């Protein structure tokens, strides 16, 4: 491993977005993410306030999703979701574009919606990751979205929700990296499940990944670097996830 532990761990947004997760599982997931010192916990919107409380002073950011997972909400609804998420303590917002509008070539609508969320977030010193859901888009549509997001100052462009037909692919990451303009960064979501893949996308230039397999990714890193196994408090005992 040719990087530090935090170089790897701070790439991960630990995803707690499956609708079947219980409150106990959400609590445990937040504590686990804090113990592994990841970048953020991306949690279901209704649990943002508790997530922010659990992560306080941990160095791990609370984040959530907007317009998730299909992106078909009205812009005003996405703005209201963003306002509530910010009020509840979310520092980063992962927003799904209106996929239907993009497929219809309604680029002004798509751009106006992204601008509304990015402007709101930046006014509150928050950051935005714009989710494309690449499995439904042509390469030309992906390229156009890269251009729009970079023009509007989105903080990240993101491959997918993890709920589409496929997650991040190497060709899509190469396309997004080649068409982004700094300071906009690229996030891979869905498909990064081991340390080898994490390090591979890092070398490509990806700065964040969305993952639920955080322990499976980072335990080998800790072993290679001769760090102690991670322990954290669950509701009943101190254990691994």
pLDDT, tens digit, for every residue of 196-220? Answer: 999 999 999 999 999 999 999 999 9
The answer to whether position 213 is within a domain reads yes
Out of 13, 88, 158, 172, which one is annotated catalytic? 158
The answer to whether position 94 is within a domain reads yes
Give the residue numbers spanning the domain of 185. 64-227
Q: How many domains, the chain?
A: 1
Express each pLDDT in 21-42 by its tens digit: 999 999 999 999 999 999 999 9
Express each pLDDT in 38-62 by its tens digit: 999 999 999 999 999 999 999 999 9
Compute the radius of gyration of the chain from its Cα atoms.
17
The answer to whether position 127 is within a domain reads yes
Express each pLDDT in 141-169 by its tens digit: 999 999 999 999 999 999 999 999 999 99
The per-residue b/e assignment along 151-171, b for 16 or more CB within 10 angstroms, e otherwise, is ebebbbbbbbbbbbeebbbee
Calpha distance 239→120 (Å, rounded): 40
pTM equals 0.94
Which of 175, 130, 134 shows the shortest CA–CA distance to 149? 130
The answer to whether position 36 is within a domain reads no
The answer to whether position 201 is within a domain reads yes
Out of 94, 129, 142, 172, which one is annotated catalytic? 94
The answer to whether position 83 is within a domain reads yes
Active site residue 158: yes
The answer to whether position 56 is within a domain reads no
The answer to whether position 58 is within a domain reads no
Q: Which of the four pLDDT bands, split at 50, 70 and 90, describes residue 17?
A: very high
Q: Does the pLDDT of residue 238 top 50, yes or no?
A: no
The CATH number that applies at residue 78 is 3.20.20.70
């Amino acid at each position: 491993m040719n990087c530090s532990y935090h170089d790897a761990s701070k790439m991960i947004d630990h995803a707690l977005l499956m609708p079947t997760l219980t409150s106990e599982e959400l609590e445990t997931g937040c504590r686990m993410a804090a113990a592994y010192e990841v970048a953020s916990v991306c949690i279901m919107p209704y649990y943002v306030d508790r997530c922010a409380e659990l992560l306080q002073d941990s160095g791990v950011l609370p984040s959530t999703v907007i317009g998730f997972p299909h992106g078909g909400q009205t812009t005003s609804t996405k703005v209201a979701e963003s306002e509530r998420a910010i009020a509840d303590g979310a520092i980063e917002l992962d927003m799904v574009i209106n996929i239907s509008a993009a497929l219809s070539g309604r680029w002004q609508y798509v751009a106006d919606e992204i601008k509304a969320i990015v402007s709101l977030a930046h006014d509150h010193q928050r950051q935005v990751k714009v989710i494309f859901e690449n499995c439904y888009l042509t390469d030309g549509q992906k390229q156009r979205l890269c251009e729009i997001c970079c023009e509007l100052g989105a903080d990240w462009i993101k491959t997918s929700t993890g709920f589409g037909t496929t997650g991040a692919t190497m060709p899509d990451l190469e396309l997004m990296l080649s068409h982004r303009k700094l300071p906009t960064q690229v996030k891979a979501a869905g498909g990064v499940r081991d340390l080898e893949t994490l390090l591979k996308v890092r070398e490509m230039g990806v700065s964040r990944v969305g993952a639920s397999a955080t322990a499976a990714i980072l335990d080998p890193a800790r072993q290679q670097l001769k760090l102690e196994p991670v322990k954290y408090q669950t509701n009943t005992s101190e254990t691994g996830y």
